Structure 1
């Protein structure tokens, strides 16, 4: 199935929740806004605008429709959220102009502030709940088993709507944060490549370094961190017992020491 068809199916699921079809759509730039604009126009929306988040006020004024019940805002790759305060302000700005929001958080690989879980729908669900929005999950169940080249974003795409705006039961399960199997497989391959490079002591090719580090946590981008892992003399379980709160470190140490043992057994 083509990516365009997957977007069409996703949009069909979203709009099936609406008792009254919205008259306007604002797509917030971030990831493939043009493709989503084409999908909305194909679904019969004539008043579709693409804008940056900072242009939201201006675009709403240009559309001439100020009733939030007549507008859908589609966030394609997150909103400003370098701090919790900024995330709250971003949600407030969206809630002012729309009662129905299709929301895709910023992928983890593009997240700058690792202290906030802004890549997960559950984080935004709390902030939207403050604005009287409920979280719905009509898209992912409909397309989860389809082939799609962009699961890094679609795996976290959900809908936020005020109760009076929806025509569906909120049968959302207790779990809302998912990782698509294709993303897991891709990241495991990248981690395995990085481990091989660390253990064999070879330099990272210039044309491959971006490919390796792009989807990994920031600690892997630090050469000091790599050297610390390689030179660590203690067993991973000893570090875990002494410093259980340093889960990321001793978990990485466990994987490196396990792989080193395997390589020694082979040689």
Structure 2
């Protein structure tokens, strides 16, 4: 049993840290094992950890500080997926007092499909950065490029189409309702939640029409499985935004201030 908690440094409302917060709830990992430490939003007077905790570690957040057994120092793990994989391993082995959760045995094909699903879901949030920087007032002055944002949004559409067609089914969603979510499912939900709650768009709504995707192939612009997945996951206790997970108003105003024509071009509904 560890004597000191792991420390999860994060900006709680931002996408990559919020993935890990959802993961902690899904795995029923209590705060006496992994203690979230909120860091003030970056800026000239920000980027400070809560009082009473060691200073914010270097690197992009989230960062997990793992207490060393032989001294009072910490080892650090960056990258949200790496943190979740590490904590998943602790749960699978029941180490350090973590709630034990045995990993489901998978065939090589099932494991390959899971890796592909996780990769696509992770790519969504990475690709969104260009969409929002060039398409909203959240980007730095002078970077506005609506045509570029609109084109990158087409690639988001392609990733969502791949997930809809290759990794979702009603049977899979029914199964998810009864069990703990996988890392891939958490990544997908976090993206849909982030774009909806922070940027004011619902990416699960399409026009229902046949459109040309980025490589010129015809594809139907609709996501019934993605929409059901998002709605079902949103009802989970792990998905509820708490306290500092709510986007601050001063950021939300800029994040929902889209350049004209970007959202309408993809038949996305403003929220």
**Same topology, TM > 0.5:** no
TM-score by length of 1: 0.30
More helix by share: 1
Larger radius of gyration: 1
